[in-house]
Chains A and B, each alone.
Chain A
Amino acid sequence: MTKSVVSTVDIVAQDEAETLADVGVQIRPDEPQVRSGTYVLRDHLPLCVQTYREGLEMLPIAEALHRYAWLREHYFWKLISPDQDEVTRQIAAESEPQGYFIWVRRGTRITRPAQAGLFIAHEGLAQKLHNVIVLEDDTELHLITGCTTGRAVRSGYHLAVNEAYVGASATLTMTMVHSWGPEVIVRPRAAVAVGDYSHYVNNYVSLRPALDIQSNPRTYLNGVGATAKYMTVILGSRGSIIDTGGEVWLNGEDSGAELVHRGVCTGGKMYQRGFLVGNARCRAHVDCAGMLLDSGEDGFIESVPGLRAFHPEARMSHEASVGKVAPEQVEYLMSRGMEEHEAISMIIRGFLDADIEGLSAELDARIGEIAAMAGHGERK
């Protein structure tokens, strides 16, 4: 447990704390009551690294590599190759890696979420991160990762390599919330290895999409009975290219996966992906649904669910649909007294069906904005 000398409230500026709160990162006096640990990186500087729970360690990755030789030996660049693509090469070329290391020791089950805030405060800045998470056997962790930019920041780069290792009988829940400036380019490369009877839950929410996002984390379900669940919620907007979803490799006997993607497009290009690879007896399903409220000039939704079976007992399926908000649904709710934008909000909220911890207020606000926009479009 890291001793907290000063409260995080004293370190993070008020307006930046508010921006971080919008993406689920709570910087406030009662933080130890709502979070089990906090890591905040501002530009290139780790602002605070604190944990409030025995068995949970959070460190800047450089310090962790220095402290634990086994980290480099067993985990660092072991799921993702530095040569994979331009993004990984750039991160590998950094003289001192930035990012966090999170380690949950055997037998530690933490119900209160830990949080990592990755914050770009300056225009045009490039964050190049390498994050590693290790959950030993019989552990549980919920990590909320909030990535965002300062209010005045329009452009920047968020490049990241994320490697996570989930031992046996363990559960890792990753909730990633992105809310970027309009010209930010976002390239996380993520891979997760999951052991016997363990579960990985991947929630990805992008509220204010950047110029260009590619986020398709890959999960290897190596263990017997391992499962993965992806929930991706994307609110697109004009001028952006958002390519999200993910892939799951079902390598363990009786492994299972469910990938759900919900995208609301108000212009811009949106790709919804979900790819399953069946290497063992397994069950898995991909479900992509898109709502195209306004295609703008050249916007679209492209839904790309895919299945590849290498094993005769791999039972996999997919479904995909794209549609708009149906006027008869909107008017049905209006006939109960709702305003048009209230009806559209309720329908979008239902469509997203997302109940993600600590996010509902910001998500509702964003859905409200989109509904107002969509309602305006209907009337023209």
Chain B
Amino acid sequence: MSSSTGNILEIHDLHVEVGGKELLHGINLVIPEGQVHALMGPNGSGKTSLMMTIMGFSAYKVTRGQIIFAGRDITGLSVTERARLGIAIAQQRPPTIAGVKLRAVLDYIMAHDSVSSEEIAELVRQARVEDFLDRDINAGLSGGEIKRAELVQLLATCPRFSMMDEPESGVDLDSLALVGSLVNRLFIRDSCRPVRRRSGLIVTHTGHILKYIEADRAHIMLDGRIACSGNPHLILQTVAESGYAACVCCVVEGDGYDKVSS
């Protein structure tokens, strides 16, 4: 398979275990280059597990299936190798690390990526993370502060494919505008011909973030499977009206959206 397929990400029949228990039961997902997809679904349906598996975190063991990134099978690659190919993640609950400062991580990125110190300083200012640059990373931060701290790191690395786990959770409405504009910047246009932006996958519960970043397609996960895919507005509307119960019903009756809308 080559990148000539035009897909940034292809996932085939992905089965994933955590602590000996299978959480993902055969995921199939295709994201074309330049598209941003939204991922929805109830708590525990496997959204975070899918993202963590794409990033390569070792607690998520792939027992079957393949992850193809830009035409290359990355299923066996380390987190570092994936990061260097341009995959990045903004976690919902990133770990705190005693004694390691956000500044140290940004300094590392500056020393190894093409980003300049002026650009980093500008990002730090825009993301409003000055106040916790010299604190232990992710320690004692509010929901909104964690998002900004994660996003400033992603923006500094300029990833080809960004994943975001619930960028709006724990963020008040005022901060949401800032987080939204940072997310938007992450998917800034990267080519004119054809007009194309950077790609990504965003987990959202409420869909609030989709006011700031237009998603090309949405998927609903239920119990470790992608149950339904389609137009983000339509899916969001359905979930808002009837909750995921309707999706469960729909899947059980074997009449998934995917069949009608794709």
A residues bordering B, Cβ < 8 Å?
326-329, 331-340, 342, 346-347, 349-353
Residues of chain B lying within 8 A (CB to CB) of residue A336: 83, 88, 105, 108-109, 153, 157
Q: How far is the CA of A339 from the CA of B111 in the complex (A)?
A: 14
For B113, what are the chain A residues with a Cβ–Cβ distance below 8 Å? 337
Q: Are B83 and A327 in contact (CB under 8 A)?
A: no
* Chain A binder among B4-12, B54-62, B122-130, B193-201: B54-62
* A350, B108: Cα distance in complex, Å: 14
Interchain CB contact under 8 A, B80 and A334: yes
14 intermolecular pairs with C-beta atoms under 8 Å apart: A327-B58, A329-B95, A329-B97, A331-B57, A332-B94, A335-B57, A336-B88, A336-B153, A337-B109, A338-B108, A339-B80, A342-B108, A347-B99, A350-B104
Decide if A337 touches B80 in the complex (CB within 8 Å).
yes
Instruction: Add 20 more A-B contacts to A335-B79, A336-B83, A346-B100 (CB < 8 A).
Output: A326-B95, A327-B58, A327-B59, A328-B57, A329-B97, A331-B79, A333-B97, A334-B78, A335-B57, A335-B82, A335-B89, A337-B113, A337-B157, A338-B80, A340-B78, A340-B80, A346-B105, A347-B97, A347-B99, A350-B104
Interface string of B216-255 (1 = CB under 8 A from A): 0000000000000000000000000000000000000000
CB atoms of A332 and B91 under 8 A apart: yes
- B260 close to A (CB within 8 Å): no
Query: Are B100 and A350 neighbours in the complex by a CB distance under 8 Å?
Result: yes
Interface residue B192 (Cβ < 8 Å from any Cβ of A): no
B1 at the interface (CB under 8 A from A): no
Docked complex Cα distance between A325 and B58 (Å)? 14
User: Is B112's CB within 8 Å of the partner chain A?
Assistant: yes
Complex Cα distance A347/B96, Å? 11
Q: A335-B79, A336-B153, A337-B83 are in contact. Are A350 and B89 (CB under 8 A)?
A: no
A349 touches B79 (CB 8 A): no
- The dominant DSSP class at the B interface is mixed
Binary interface profile of B, 130-160, with partner A (CB < 8 Å = 1, else 0)? 0000001000000000000000010001000
With an 8 Å Cβ cutoff, the count of chain B residues facing the other chain is: 30
Once bound together, how far apart are the Cα atoms of A352 and B97, in whole Å? 12
The residue in chain A whose Cβ has the minimal distance to the Cβ of B84 is: A337
Chain A residues with Cβ below 8 Å from B112 are: 337
What are the interface flags for B162-192 relative to A under an 8 Å C-beta threshold, 1 for contact and 0 otherwise?
Answer: 0000000000000000000000000000000
B107 to chain A, nearest CB (A): 10
Looking at the complex, which one of A331, A338, A346 makes contact with B58 (CB distance below 8 Å)?
A331
Cross-chain contact A352 with B109 (CB below 8 angstroms): no
Contact B95 A350 (CB under 8 A): no
- Docked Cα-Cα span, A352 to B83, in Å, equals 27
A329 to B93, CA, bound (A): 12
**Could you say which of B59, B95, B101, B109 has the most chain A C-beta atoms within 10 Å of its C-beta?**
B95
Residues of chain B within 8 A of A347, CB atoms compared: 97, 99-100
The 7 A-B pairs of least Cβ separation, nearest first, read: A350-B99, A350-B100, A334-B79, A353-B99, A337-B83, A334-B80, A329-B97
Residue of A nearest to B112 (CB): A337
Contact B95 A328 (CB under 8 A): yes
Given the complex of chains A and B, what is the CA–CA distance between A332 and B137 in angstroms? 11
A224 to chain B, nearest CB (A): 34
Q: How far is the CB of A262 from chain B (nearest CB, A)?
A: 9
Closest-by-CB residue of B relative to A326 is B95
**Least Cβ–Cβ distance between A351 and chain B, in angstroms:** 5
Closest approach, in angstroms, between the C-beta of A325 and any C-beta of chain B?
10
Query: For B88, what are the chain A residues with a Cβ–Cβ distance below 8 Å?
Result: 335-336
| B109–A349 CB distance below 8 A | no
B98: which of A333, A339, A340, A350 is its contact (CB, 8 Å)?
A350
What residues of A have a CB within 8 angstroms of the CB of B109 in the complex?
A: 336-337
* 8 A Cβ contacts from B40-70 to A: 55-59
Cβ B94 vs Cβ A346 within 8 A: no
A336-B108, A336-B109, A338-B108 in contact; A351/B99 too (CB < 8 A)? Answer: yes
Q: Are A332 and B80 in contact (CB under 8 A)?
A: no
Cβ contact within 8 Å between B97 and A350: yes
Most buried by A among B91, B99, B101: B99
- Report A-chain residues with C-beta under 8 Å of the C-beta of B79: 331, 334-335
Provide the residues of chain A in CB contact with B99, threshold 8 Å.
347, 349-353
A221 to B27, CA, bound (A): 66
Q: Which residues of B contact A346 (CB under 8 A)?
A: 100, 104-105, 108
CB distance from A313 to the nearest CB of B (A): 31
Q: Which residues of A contact B105 (CB under 8 A)?
A: 333, 336, 346
A53 to chain B, nearest CB (A): 35
CB distance from B149 to the nearest CB of A (A): 12
- Nearest CB of B to A330, in Å: 9
Q: Name the A residues within 8 Å of B108 (CB-CB).
A: 336-338, 342, 346
Instruction: Give Cα A342 to B101, complex, Å.
Output: 15
Which residues of chain B come closer than 8 Å to A340, judged between CB atoms? 78, 80
Q: How far is the CA of A353 from the CA of B104 in the complex (A)?
A: 13
Q: Contact at B95–A334, with CB atoms within 8 Å?
A: no
| CB nearest to B83 among chain A residues | A337
Contacts of B101 in A (CB 8 A): 350
Chain A residues closer than 8 Å to B55, beta-carbon distance: 335
Cβ–Cβ < 8 Å partners of B58 in chain A: 327, 331
- Taking the closest CB of chain B, its distance from the CB of A35, in whole angstroms, is 29
Query: Which of chain B's residues have a CB closer than 8 A to the CB of A339?
Result: 80
How far is A304 from B105 in the complex, measured between Cα atoms in Å? 34
Q: Which residues of B contact A352 (CB under 8 A)?
A: 99
A326→B109 CA distance, assembly (Å): 21
User: Which of A326, A327, A346, A349 has the largest number of chain B CB atoms within 10 A?
Assistant: A346
